[in-house]
Structures are given as C-alpha cells and as structure tokens.
Amino acid sequence: MKRRLLSLAFGILCLAASLSVCVVNFGCGPAPVTGRAIPGPSASLPPSSVPSPTITNLNPDNGELAGGASVVITGTNFVNVTSINFGATAAQTYVVNSSTQITVTSPAAITSGPVFVKVTTATGTNGDGAANTFTYNPPQ
C-alpha cells in the first residue's frame, strides 16, 4: 500500500511540474515510472483556451518539387500542433519553436504550382490566403 501511495504522489508531482508526462504502474510490486518530454510551449496551455492558428508568413514561400526546403512559418496560436500539410501532403518533419513560429521541412510534390500550407492544432486549422501559399517550382 505504501508503494502505491508513493507512486501516486510521484505521478501527481510529475504532472504538476508540466515538464513530463508520467505513466505509473499501480499494480503489485515495484512501480516503474516512465515518461517523455513534452516539446515546447505548446504543452503549457489547455487546447480550449487557444484560438485556431493563423499564418502570417512563410520563409521561403517556394521550393523544389523534391521537397526538403526548410520553411519558417510565422503566425499565431501554434499550440498543441497535430499536423502540418502542404496541400494534401503531410509534412513529416517539423519543430514548434514557439506559439508564433514553426520550422518545417517541405514534403515532395508531384506537380509544380501553389499549395496552401495548413497548420492543424487541437482547436482547428488556419484558413487559406496569400500568407500561407507555398509554390513548388517547376523543374529547370
């Protein structure tokens, strides 16, 4: 019983610190604790308190069909980001630097031309507009 109470107290302490998410085994025997770091400031606010994201700038706003461009997305409300898409294609690599900036690697595309970049969070997805248009350059 002492181990269970200690495990429960440790789990609550980990969650209260908001630096990691702890999973505590409440079964008999030793209570192993595992955790993982929560990246960036996006973990510090509950989803319901943050409006949908907006994009104000992409830098650069164009790249090669092969993908691989490092694109800095500037905007607002980048909290609890769940995905980033270039048109219908999901970006596989991105880092939420802050609630106003994301660095993403553009995915490959099949055809050249403009696509909308979409940031999806727990509270919604940004709208379409000139500020979130990325253009895949035709082959040279």
- What is the average pLDDT score of the chain? 78
- Both 113 and 57 in one domain: the answer is yes
Average pLDDT over residues 119-129: 96
pTM here is 0.67
- Both 130 and 99 in one domain: the answer is yes
In this prediction, residue 49 carries a pLDDT of: 75
Q: 82 lies in which domain range? A: 47-137
Q: What are the Cα distances from residue 42, in Å, to 84, 98, 121, 129, 131?
A: 15, 7, 10, 24, 22
- Both 83 and 119 in one domain: the answer is yes
Residue 3 CB-half CA count within 13 A: 10
- Both 23 and 51 in one domain: the answer is no
pLDDT single digits (tens) 3-26: 444 443 434 333 333 333 333 333
pLDDT single digits (tens) 48-69: 677 999 999 999 999 999 999 9
